[in-house]
Amino acid sequence: MSSAFVASTIYQNYRNTVINHSAYYSKTGICMPDKKKKETPKFIYDCVRCGQYCSSVNGVPVTLQDLLRWQANGELGRLVTHLGLETDSGFPRLVLKPREGDEQGCPVYDADGKACGLYDDLPLNCQAYPLGYNGEKYYVVDQACQGLGEGEMTATKLRAQRDCALNEYEARSSSAATLPVMYGLVMQEMMEQSRQAMDSLTPEQKAELERR
């Protein structure tokens, strides 16, 4: 028996089986089973104020947009002492660094009360969290976030969350070019605080400083 004959017989049997199954499903009205499609997990998130990220982050990224907002609403003055440069990511970036003596955590986060001191004007990084954008797609930046899977994600809320992630990505992408401007804003604020401090001194205190 030739191999060609065997192959032809196998093909014919397979073809008859397919035809018989198709006829059965057509006659009975039962739909042929489809291959199970892999569904893309839905992004569902609602902040539960667990403090997981806020208390463990090692430097909250700050953008030029953040500084300009804080300068306009008067928040920059109290934040300037918490700002510092971080180079762990491979290039210098401005961050809200942990409090002195702490190895991690946002400096304006109250861990005991689980409250954010900037909740009404969050940095873009925190507005987008835990959603990120890399220029091609959106992704979850922190699988440990306890708010994932909580609450209800409407189309409007999802669109707003994606807009925040996109804004953060664009601001972060231009941070290297805007770093000198950011540094200038920080120095300007520090000089203004120094001037105000000097103006508040008595003549005796000023004279004491001059003698040192």
pLDDT, residue 209, reads: 63
Euclidean distance between CA atoms 17 and 179, whole angstroms? 69
pLDDT, residue 146, reads: 94
What single letter denotes the amino acid at residue 58?
A: N
Low-confidence ranges of the chain (pLDDT < 70): 1-41, 205-212
CA 156 and chain centroid, separation: 18
pLDDT, residue 212, reads: 65
Handedness of CA 106, 108, 114, 119 (dihedral sign): negative
CA distances from 189 to 17, 18, 75, 185, 206 (A): 80, 77, 11, 6, 22
Instruction: Phi first, then psi: give them for residue 140, nearest 5 degrees.
Output: -85, 125
pLDDT, residue 56, reads: 94
pLDDT, residue 12, reads: 57
DSSP state of 84: E
- Cβ atoms of 117 and 106 closer than 8 Å: no
Q: In this predicted model, what pLDDT tens digit does every residue of 70-86 receive, in sequence order? A: 999 999 999 999 999 88
- Cβ atoms of 126 and 167 closer than 8 Å: no
10 Å Cβ neighbour count for 77? 14
Instruction: Phi first, then psi: give them for residue 187, nearest 5 degrees.
Output: -65, -40
pLDDT, residue 187, reads: 78
Q: What is the dihedral of CA 23, 27, 31, 34, to 10 degrees?
A: -10
pLDDT, residue 179, reads: 79
Q: Judge if pTM exceeds 0.85.
A: no
CA distances from 124 to 102, 165, 199, 209 (A): 23, 8, 35, 41
Alpha helix stretches (DSSP H) within the chain = 3-28, 52-56, 64-73, 76-79, 124-128, 155-173, 175-199, 203-211
What single letter denotes the amino acid at residue 47?
A: C
